[in-house]
Structures are given as structure tokens and as C-alpha cells.
Amino acid sequence: MSNQPVDAEIPDCATGNSDTDEITIAYQYLGKAAQATDEETIKFYVRQAGQYLVEYADE
């Protein structure tokens, strides 16, 4: 996975609202995906967002 963007550590930017942190983080990852230009980076950010959304849904 050497194609991972260097600034992929978004979780530090969470709002502090434990009820919606996963959604906030996923939203930020999707924003990065929308700004990305290559397919691998877009897929990486979409997968990251998906993991946080699944985590939220499973709570």
C-alpha cells in the first residue's frame, strides 16, 4: 500500500462529539476523495470513509 496519501490521518480532526465522530471523519475522507485526481487515491479515501461509516452503523 505504498500508494497511500501521506495526509491520510484525518481522525485527529474529529469534532469531539462521540455520537457522530465516525460520520464526520467519513465526510472528511469523501471530501479528500472528491479533490483527488488519480483513481487509486480516490479509492483509498472512499475505502477509508466506508470503514468509518460501517463502524458507526455497527454501534
Task: Render the burial of 3-37: b for 16+ CB within 10 Å, e for the rest.
Answer: eeeeeeebeeebeeeeeebbbbbbebbbebbeebe
* Gap between the Cα atoms of 55 and 48, Å rounded: 11
Residue 3 lies inside a defined structural domain of this protein: no
Confidence of residue 2 (pLDDT cuts 50, 70, 90): very low
Query: Is the pLDDT reported for residue 58 higher than 90?
Result: no
pTM of the model: 0.69
| Residue 3 confidence (pLDDT) above 70 | no
Determine the pLDDT at residue 10.
Answer: 55
Residue 29 structural domain: 15-57
pLDDT tens-digit profile of 4-49?
555 555 555 455 667 778 888 899 999 999 999 999 999 999 999 9
Asked, for residue 9, whether it belongs to a domain, the answer is: no
Domain tally for the chain?
A: 1
CA distances to 12, 16, 17 from 46, rounded to whole Å, are 18, 22, 22
